[in-house]
Every structure is written in structure tokens, then in C-alpha cells.
Structure 1
Amino acid sequence: MNRRFALKALSALIVAAGLHAPVFAQNAADKTVIKVGQTSGPHAKIMEVVKGIAARDGLTIEVIEFGDYIQPNAALDAGDLDANNYQTKPFMDAQIKARGYKIVSVGNTVLFPMGYYSKKYKNIQDLPEGARVGIQNDPANSGRSLQLLEKSGLIKLKAGVGTTATPADIIENPKKLRFHQLDSAQLPRSLDDLDMAAINTSFAIKAGLVPARDAIVIEGIDSPHTNLLVVREADKDKPWVKKLLKAYQSEEIRKFIETEFKGSGIPTF
């Protein structure tokens, strides 16, 4: 008798567990604590404000800072992060192609116009023949830098190369500029040894530069290189992603970017 009762009780427990399984699965999918990767500097500063807004919607954000452009995507793809916000679409596409990442953009965030900086010249047109020019060593950012030089009239690129341009794609170089490709984080430290260097705004601000004031040439607001909020493909439709994007694309963040960066950062949502 006791044995029959025990079996019935066990069956009831199994049925109950089955009935509640979808609820548990749903709760697991709807995270309340997430890790968001950022490069140190302006991106991290913005995300700290986003963190406060998201908290009011029940979402806790842990901001993880990185000092380079490679690790945030590697960490996201590996599951060590839930999202990141530091990269443009050309950069993300190049990373996906090269490394096979299963990541996707869920929305625009902010544009930090790239500029060229120099300790020797006030005007880009004053560069001498044979000037040493530093650009990034990753394809997306180096292509972006070369496009800005082309727009400034100093070089001409092969037709159609776009953001994938490399120094090998330069077909006209009247001043015989010499290009040195370095890690993005190293470029600000190399200004003493170069005539000019292309520096992403996040690294420029960390180095004490004010892009809107110190760049001798800088991208305009028509630049297509806005930054993106990026998550794993499997997570793109989850409720916490919508909460994170809503917090970032809020009027509070728009005003913060405009006030804090004074033209060196432009909200793109």
C-alpha cells in the first residue's frame, strides 16, 4: 500500500514538474542581470548612464571594459558577455567574416567621428612630401581612415573598395605619404614619431584629446560609421535585449551624449 502511494506521489511530482517547465524556461530566457562589454573611455561612460536607466526597468547591467577592439567580440561570441557596444557595421562584418562569430546588431547607438591628429601641423594640407601617417592595422578601421584621407583630397583609392580599402588600394598619392599600420590603442602614443595619425575617438579622448577641437580633419555627421548595440544571434529577440536597447535609445542618453561630448559624439537613434 505504501509502495503504491509512493509511486502515485512520484508520478504527480513528475507531471507537476512538466507543467512548470515552460515557466522556468521562460524565466531563464528573460535575464535580469547582464554583462555588457565596452572599450574604455566614452563608450563605457555612456553605458554607466544607460545602466541607471535600465535599472528602473528591472535590468541590472555590469559594465565590462576592454582596452582593445578584438576581445569584446570574442568574449560575446564565447558567452562571457551578453552584449557589447563599441563597433561599426564594417568592423563587425569583417570580424564575422574572419572569425565566424554568430553576432548581430540590434540597433544604432552613437557616432564618434574619426579624425586625424598631429603634433606638428595645424592643417592637413600642410603635410610635407613623404610624411609619415599612422593608420589602424585592422581592415575596417584602416579603410575608414583611408576614405577620410581621400575625402580630404590627399589620396585616391581604387573604385569600389569602400571600407575594405588598404594602402595597397591607393592609386594616387601625390605627396608620397608613407603609411604605418599600428594597433588602434597605440596610435595616440605614436604621435611624437609620426607626422599625423588617424585615431578613433574613444582612444583620442583617453589620450586627453578633444576631437572637435584637436583633430586637423574629422568625419562629418554624414559618416556611415555609427556604433551598434550587438548581441548573439540567438538572443536578439529576448526581452532583456529590448530593455537594453530602450534604455540606450532614450531621450536621457541623447541629451547626455550631446552635453558630455559637445560635438565629439553624436547620437544616431
Structure 2
Amino acid sequence: MKHAAFKLAGAALSLSLALSAYAAEPLRVAADPVPHAEILNFIKKLDPKLDLKVVELTSGVNANELLANGDVDANYFQHVPYLKDQEKALGKTFAVAATVHIEPLGIYSHKYKDLKSVPENATVAVPNNVTNLSRALFLLQSQGLIKLKPGFNDPANNLATPKSIAENPKKLKILEVESPQIPRSLDDVDLAVINGNYALEAGLTPAKDALGLESAEHNPYANILVTNPNLASDPRIKELAKDLQSPQVAEFIRKQYNGSVIPVAPQS
């Protein structure tokens, strides 16, 4: 019995040492440069004991593929509807570790000062990925520019496409463009629906410059920290999740982005 207990204690000690060594490794997190990497770099100062390695994403890099392949331990750039679509596309299951902030989607223009001035046959650039295309169409509907078919009343569960448009009084032309490229198209189109992070990177201030802005209330597009299921209980992930949802980070977000990025409470 003593021998068995000794072996069990030895195994437990070995496991503990292994976990400690694992936790000592840098936590690699892929993130969009703005605001995600900026928020993570603030956390590096806030919580220096967390060895955080921020991997800034470049255009064309799929952060979920990086995570699935083990090239990073987590990513921080996306919302739940996008994640679900990615899980289907990649045949993978990921774990949401924290819900952090909302970047309201906005409608911008270099040609018009308000949406009432937009003429017929105007061209509107929208994101070409499934979830953000749908999100853009719901935003256009909320601003009275189009009306979707009956049944398209829940942005979180109803994915709209241009074929879902029932009424288009201004005969708007919907042009699907890769999200990071849309800010560059502002001089070539009448309106552009731009994700908050890409708007910020382009020097736009969503709370001030957008002609129409997505509501933060009951918004299903909160940005999340995502990891692999086998790392969901990793103490480093838990520490980062705690930091991301801390009052200090919420205050940093409010001061740094002045309403263009909005901290949110954890969601179930």
C-alpha cells in the first residue's frame, strides 16, 4: 500500500512539475493590430507575470488555422458568429475563453455627409465573408436603406445575403470586398460598411466619422478570446481571460477608443 501511495505521489509530483513547466512557456496570442494587439500590449504592462507573446496578424492570415495547427495558443480578433462559420469551414471545434468588447460596424463615405444625401444607384462596399456580409446588410436595414425579407430579424442566427433583400428603394449596388481592403475603396464607392478594427487602422473614428453605426445594445458580435479545447483550463489562458475582463482593461478601452470600441460584461 505504501509503495502504491509513493508511486501515486511521485506521479502527481511529476504531473505538477510538467504543468509548471508548461505554464512557464510564453502564451502566444494572434491578434489584429488594432485594437486587439494594443489591448494585449496594455495587459503585458498590467500583468507582467503573464508571459504574453502577441502575434500581430497580417492580411490574408487565418488566425483560426494558426490556432488549429498549434502555431498559437489563442487568438483574439473575432466574434461568435464568425467563429461558428470558421468551425464549419475548418472542421474544428474551438473554445471561447472570454468575451471582451464590441467594435460597432459603421457606414462611411468620402462623398456624402449623411445617408439622406445618398442618391439612387449608389455603390455600397460591404465585407465579402459570410457573417460580416450579413451583419452589414442588417446595418443597412437598421438605417432604412434596404429592407430584408420576412424572417430575417435575428442577426445572430439569420445570415443574410444580397438575395435576402426584399426592398431596395435607392437601388443600391452591393459590392462585396475583402474586409481589410474596404477602407481603401472609400474614394471609389459611395458608401462603405467597415469593421471597427479596420476603420481604426485607417485613421477613422467610428463614433465620430460613421454616418450610421451599429448599436452596442444586445449586439451578438462581441469580440472574444478563443483557444483550443485542450487549453481551455490552462492557467495562462485563465489569467489572460481574467485580465481582459478586468476593470482596468475596460477603462483602458473606454479612454483609448472613445466609444469606437466598447467593453462588455462577460456573456454566458
Instruction: Give the TM-score normalised by the residue count of structure 2.
Output: 0.89
Larger radius of gyration: 1
Q: Give the CA RMSD over aligned residues.
A: 1.9
Separation (CA, whole Å) in 2 of partners of 1:159 and 1:29: 52
Partner residue in 2 for 1:185: 180
Kindly report which structure 2 residues correspond to 1:1-269, keeping only aligned pairs within 5 A, or say none.
20-55=13-48, 58-68=49-59, 71-161=62-152, 162-163=154-155, 164-222=159-217, 223-269=219-265
Q: What amino acid is the match of 1:37?
A: A
| SS of residue paired to 1:23 | helix
| SS of residue paired to 2:47 | helix
Separation (CA, whole Å) in 1 of partners of 2:263 and 2:137: 24
Q: What amino acid is the match of 2:118?
A: L
| SS of residue paired to 1:144 | helix
| SS of residue paired to 1:253 | helix
From the superposition, tell whether residues 68 and 141 of structure 1 become closer, same or farther in structure 2 (CA, over 3 Å): farther
From the superposition, tell whether residues 157 and 15 of structure 1 become closer, same or farther in structure 2 (CA, over 3 Å): closer
**8 Å Cα contact 2:98/2:244 also seen in 1:** no
Of all paired residues, the percent bearing the same amino acid is 38
Deviation at 1:68, TM superposition (A): 3.6
Deviation at 1:43, TM superposition (A): 1.4
Deviation at 1:103, TM superposition (A): 1.1
Instruction: Give the TM-score normalised by the residue count of structure 1.
Output: 0.88
Deviation at 1:158, TM superposition (A): 2.4
Gaps of 5+ in 2: 1-6
- Tell me how many residue pairs correspond in the alignment: 254
From the superposition, tell whether residues 69 and 109 of structure 1 become closer, same or farther in structure 2 (CA, over 3 Å): farther
**8 Å Cα contact 1:85/1:227 also seen in 2:** yes
Separation (CA, whole Å) in 2 of partners of 1:18 and 1:175: 71
Separation (CA, whole Å) in 2 of partners of 1:90 and 1:52: 31
Deviation at 1:97, TM superposition (A): 1.2
Gaps of 5+ in 1: 1-13
Separation (CA, whole Å) in 1 of partners of 2:29 and 2:111: 38
Deviation at 1:241, TM superposition (A): 1.3
| SS of residue paired to 1:133 | strand
Q: What amino acid is the match of 1:148?
A: L
